[in-house]
Structure formats: C-alpha cells, structure tokens
Amino acid sequence: MKIISKLFLVTVFFGINISCNKSRKDELNAVISHYSRETKDSLKLKAARFLIKNLDGQETLDTTSVVCNEPYFNLLNDVWKREKNQYGSRFPIQTKAIDSLNKKLNLPQYNPNALYVNDAQLISADFLIKNIDNAFYVWRNMPWAKTISFEDFCEYILPYRCSDTYSLNARTYFLAKYKYLIDSVKHSDNSFTAGRFIIKDVDSWFAENVNLLLRYPYLEPIKFSNLLKGKLGDCQDANSVRVTALRSLGVPTVMDEIPNWGNSDAPHFWYKIIDLVHDTVKSLITNQNVLRSTQNIITASSYDEPTYKGSPNKVQISYVRTVPKVYRRCFAKQLNSLAMIKSARDEIPTYFNNAWIKDVTDKYLETATATVALNNNVPDQNYAYLCIFDNQHWKPVSWATIKNNKAIFVKMGKNIVYLPAFFYNGKIIPAGIPFLLNQRGEIEQMPPASEKENVVLCAKYPCRSYVLRWENYMVGGRFQFANKSDLSDTITVNTIKNIPFYQTQLNISTPQKYRYLIFQFKGLPVTYISEIAFYGLNAEGKEIKLKGKLIGNPGSYPYTADKLINGNRADLFKSVKNGDSFVGIDLGQNNAGRITKIIYMPYSDDNSVVANDNYELFYWNDEWISLGQKKAGDANSVAFENVPKNALLLVKNTAGGIQERIFTYKNGKQVFW
C-alpha cells in the first residue's frame, strides 16, 4: 500500500512538472506567435527571440518570500509623503520611524528566507509583449534613441531587468512619470542630456542609505516595488532603479560592477549610459593613492576630501578605493564567459558561474597583464584566479586558463595586491606567492624573508580622508568646568588645536573641585564625538571615572548624548542644530570633585591603535601565521619583534572589529593595500 502511494505521488509530481513546463513553454511560444502574424513586427519578433533565448537561467527575487518586509516599506512611504523635502538626507527620520514601529507592533527582526526563482518560470506572455511594445515605442520616438542600432537596443534598452529584482509595471511607471521631460529635451540626440534630467529627479527622492540597512539588516533583500515605495536602498538597489528609469525613456544604459574593491571590503555598482559620441570620460583611473576626483568615471572611487593638517606622520591617508576589475551585467549570455566555456567537471567560484557578465575593465582603468607561475598543490585544474583581500578572506576577481603551470591575467587593475589561487571543494586554495601589481604594471612578489625586523604599528586600517573630516570637527572645541548652574563661572582647561587622531588623554592639574564638566563647541559648524570620560578622586583619594547627569545638547537621533558615555567607541554623538552649544555631565549637588584627567575620542572608524587594547599580528605564508599578541602602549602604538621582512602583514584588535587591511612595512611605516 505504501509503495503504491509513493508511486502515485511520484507520478503526480512529474505530471505537475510536465504540466508546468508545458505551460511556461506555451507562454513563451505565445509571444513568438503574437509577433509572427504581421511582417511589420519582424524586428519585434527578433527582440522577443533575443529575450526568450537569454532569460532562461536568470533568477529573480520571489517577492512572496520577503513579504515580512512590507510593513516597514509602507511606513517609509508614509514618512516620505510627510517629509519629502528632507527625506533623502534625514537618516534620523527613518530610524525613529522604524524604531517606533518595532516597539509598537513587536515585529520579528530577522533576515527573511529570501527565495530566487528562474525567470522562465515567472515570465508571462502578456508581460513580455508589453515590455517589448513599450521599449520599441521609446526607441522609435525619443530623439536620443533613434540612432541606436538594433543590437544596442536589444542589450541596453529592451531588457526588463538589470538586477535580481524587477517590477512588472516599472517601464510603464517611469514612462508615465518622466514623459513631461520629453518636451525639455525633445530636440536633443544626446543620451546624456536626457539622462541627466532623469537622474537628477531620481536622486531627489531615492536615497542610497547603507547605514540604515546595516542598522536594520532584515529590510533586505528589497523587492523592486518596495524600492519605489520606501525610496531607499544600497548602491545596487539605487542603480537598479536608475537603469530601469533610464531605459524606460529610451536612454541606453547598463549596470557595471566591481566584484570587490581592491583595498576595501565590498562590491560596488553604478549605471553607465552608452553613448560613445557624447561620453565625457576622457581619462582613465590609475589606482594611484593621490588626491584626484574620479567620481565621474566610477562613483565612490575617490573620497574627494580636502587635505587636513595635523595627522600623525606615520599614518597612511587613503584618498581612493582601488579597482581590480570591472564587469558589465548583460542580458545576452556571454559566450566567452567562464560559465559558458567551462566543462561539466570544472568547479568554479559562484561569481564566475554567471553567463551574463562581461569584462569591461579597460573602459575604466589603466590596466596591465600579469603572467603568473603557479604551484602544483591542486591537480587537474583548468583555471586559476587572482584574489583580493576583502578584510576577512581572499576573494576571486579574475580568472585565466592554466597552460604549462602558468596563467595570464589580462586587463588587471594596478597598485593592488593579488593572491594567485585555485578553487577546489568550494574553497580558495593558494596557488602562489601574493604580489603587488605596481604602477608600472610589474609584479613585486611578497615572500616572507628569513631576515627579521621590529615593527611599530599605529593602525589596523588606512585612514580614509573623510575620517579626518569627522575627527577635525572637534578642533576648536574646549573642555570647561563650572560650579554655577548658569555656567557663568566657567573656566577653560583645554582647547583642541590639532586633529585628535587617536584616543587622547588630558591630565588636569587644577586643585579646585567642580560640579559641571562640559565640552564647549560654540562656533563650530557641527560636532561629532565618540567618547568623553572624566576622571577624579573619590573620598579615599582613589582615581575613578566620574558619573553624572547628562546636560547640554541632546544630540540628533539616533546619535544622542548618551552615546558619549556608553563605552562604545563605534557610537556617535552628533550635535543637534538650535540646541545648546555644549554637552557634558552634572555631578550633582554636593558632589563636586577634583578632576584628574579627561579621556576623549573623536568620531572615527575606530581603526587606529588604542592604548591598552590587545592586538595580534599575522604574516602570510600560504596561510595567516600568528606572531603573537601584544598590548598597545599609552602612545597609541603597538610594537612587535622578529617580524619577517618583506612579508604581507595583517593586525587585528582581539576585542573585535571587522575592518582590517593587509599591509607591508617600509621605512618604519605601514603601507596598506
């Protein structure tokens, strides 16, 4: 009886799948049939075949699997309607709203079990036909689109998606929303002119807000309709919206991406308008660590901050994010992609198991070719990879065919440290010595030498130039004491004159006791502070950390004054406008104390070495090998002995933190890569 039941279920299961497959095939055939009726639709028929040929295997977010996100995006939409004039830059408005909703409804805070479904299982004939008809309408009617070839139209205007989420009505929505712009640029054949109108509007209501998503990770992944509803997302989300809006008006556009920055910990995405005649990019990115704006070439590739005086000489200031490779998200399957040429037995990294990416690195960068000799640790490998360090792991960003134990990697970004590797049993296996591909395009290998040296380290990560801006906000601030409630008897005990790059200790010698202990920032444009701690003597003459009631500026939500005294260096106090020009503590009536020292830290990325924290140093020799742990001294540095010269190094704060960069030690200074 059980056997019969199982056979019955199997029969039903296969019957359902055959029926479903037939149903999906019928849907796609219906599109072909629709455009086969009249000869005037011959191009539309070709377009339909292009879409159908290339959609199978592409996966999209199953919107029903993230339905638990819906209340948040309904709320954010309501907030936007109330606060639209300030919404894009008002992180406090969004956080306060979400915190209030969580408290009110006691919603479960977790990452949804997002599911992704093959497009071929979802696409309907009606949707494809509407998409094709709308795409042809803008191609034939928008002045900037009329000169675009059919091949470029198919790749850059026709596709219904550019990321792993899309909306059934997005093209219709944006065409209606921006149709008024047509009159403004109706005589222009310049795609960039039309694009600027659209992007300016999109950027006025859509906010790239990574900080919000880090704070509330359960908001992701975000379906396309919720991107439009909540009007926020990360850089991939934002560019998915931009590309869709541009294509909907006939502006030929793609999404390009970096699988991971060369000297940082994340991928990056941006839109690219395809118009070679009017393209404004005339010079390429060099990856040199110099003060040069390259935002017009690749967004976020330079920090574009002014220089600040007063940073320690041994601290490396980082002005750019380096770019190892750039890939284009195509709709057509790329016949020379690794996913298409590999054999069934070849195991390859997930990123490259994608038939829809195309290498366009040399469109953006000055590149070099790296010919790499490989070791033989892993047999029967057809492909090798170059990896960058993403702060925690080696991540493959380029591939090449192995021939005679060598691999030739073309179009590589320079001024980046790479590790040659194999991919075996789901893991990255080192295949050689890490090397710097220097500015001249030459390989500088980094084998640890037998000769040893002593090193003094001041940071576990390079100081990005915008961090100096945060720290500079404390310059000009004054530490003051008082005993009268109106602070009329205030005395200034210290004025900050230089950028306080590290945690700083001020020793106080005044013998008088004080009740009100404050940091005065009157006259400063804005104030960011991480921590302030006041120390004094108790009745027994022992030095203790003083506690009291917070007074002064309450701070801007969620960067409130309580963050100053919670002991968490990653937290931030940000002064609220139109509030008191100081913040501090009231020790209370009859509790005035003799102050012995003040310890403070500006807001930063908390990557400098902090006095009394423990650090562990590693060097690379086919794996990370520990050189032991040391406690940082009061000088905000930590020293290690017997470190192999020429080695690639990594230092970690044992208390935690995920931002750690590989570096070399040259001429008494850390050089980060």
Q: What is the pLDDT of residue 184?
A: 76
Please state which CATH class domain 327-445 belongs to: mainly beta
Q: Which has more confidence, 3 or 243?
A: 243
Query: Has residue 6 got a pLDDT over 80?
Result: no
Average of per-residue pLDDT values in the chain? 92
Predicted local confidence at residue 86, as pLDDT: 64
- Rounded mean pLDDT, 45-60: 95
Cα–Cα distance measured from residue 68 to residue 95, given in angstroms and rounded to the nearest whole number: 18
Tokens 């029967």 — which residue? 380
Task: Tell me how far apart the alpha carbons of residues 190 and 607 are, in angstroms, rounded to a whole number.
Answer: 46
Looking at residue 310, its pLDDT comes to 81
pLDDT digits (tens, 9 = 90+) for 201-253: 999 999 998 889 999 999 999 999 999 999 999 999 999 999 999 999 999 99
CB-based contacts of 151: which residues, under 8 Å, 6+ apart? Answer: none
Give percent above pLDDT 70 in the chain.
95
| Among 469, 465, 461, residue whose Cα is nearest residue 603 | 469
At 14 the pLDDT is: 34
Give pLDDT tens digits for 492-540.
999 999 999 889 999 999 999 999 999 999 999 899 999 999 999 988 8
Could you report how far apart the first and last alpha carbons of the chain are, in Å? 67
| CATH fold of 452-464+609-672 | Immunoglobulin-like (2.60.40)
Q: The pTM is what?
A: 0.92
Query: Six-digit token pair at 190?
Result: 């310049």
pLDDT digits (tens, 9 = 90+) for 639-665: 999 999 999 999 999 988 889 999 999
One-letter-per-residue 3-state SS of 423-470: EECCEEEECCCCEEECCCCCEEECCCCCCEEEEEECECCCEEHHHHHH
| 116 Cβ contact partners less than 8 Å away, ≥ 6 residues apart | 59, 60, 61, 62, 164
pLDDT tens-digit series, residues 586-645: 999 999 999 999 999 999 999 999 999 999 999 999 999 999 999 998 889 999 999 999
Segment 70-106, tens digit of pLDDT: 999 999 999 988 887 665 557 888 999 999 999 888 8
pLDDT at residue 22 tops 70: no
Q: Helix 235-248 and helix 191-205: axis angle, to 10°?
A: 130
Lowest mean pLDDT among 177-186, 370-379, 493-502, 533-542: 177-186
Instruction: Categorise residue 445: left if φ over 0, alpha if ψ from -120 to 50, beta otherwise.
Output: beta
pLDDT for res 307: 86
Q: Would 327-445 and 452-464+609-672 be classified into the same CATH topology?
A: yes
Eight-class DSSP state of 385:
E
* Two structure tokens written together for 233: 């997302």
Domain boundaries, the chain: 56-273, 327-445, 452-464+609-672, 474-602
Q: Report the alpha-carbon distance of residue 238 to residue 222 in Å, rounded.
A: 11
Q: Cα-flanking dihedrals φ and ψ of residue 471, to 5°? A: -70, -30
Quick one: pLDDT at residue 372?
98
**What's the pLDDT score for residue 601?**
96
- Using a 10 angstrom Cβ sphere, with 0-12 exposed, 13-18 middle and 19 or more buried, the burial of residue 440 is exposed
Question: pLDDT at position 576, please?
Answer: 92
Contacts (Cβ under 8 Å, ≥6 apart) of 310: 475, 498, 499, 501
pLDDT for 35 beyond 90: yes
Measuring CA to CA, which residue among 423, 422, 440, 439 is closest to residue 431? 422
DSSP characters for 190-234? -HHHHHHHHHHHHHHH-EE-HHHHHH-GGG-S--HHHHHHH-EE-
Output DSSP code: residue 87.
G
Residues 150-171 have pLDDT tens digits of 999 999 999 999 999 999 999 9
CATH of domain 56-273: 3.10.620
Q: Given this model, what pLDDT does residue 88 score?
A: 53
631: tokens are: 């406690």
Q: What is the mean pLDDT of residues 184-211?
A: 88
For the chain, give the longest Cα–Cα distance: 98
Give the burial string for 565-584 (b: 16+ CB within 10 Å, else e): beeebebbbbbbeeebebbb
Give 670's Cβ-side CA count (13 Å radius).
31
- 67 three-class SS: helix
Mean pLDDT of 406-410: 98
CA distance 356 to 337: 8
Q: How many residues does the chain have?
A: 673
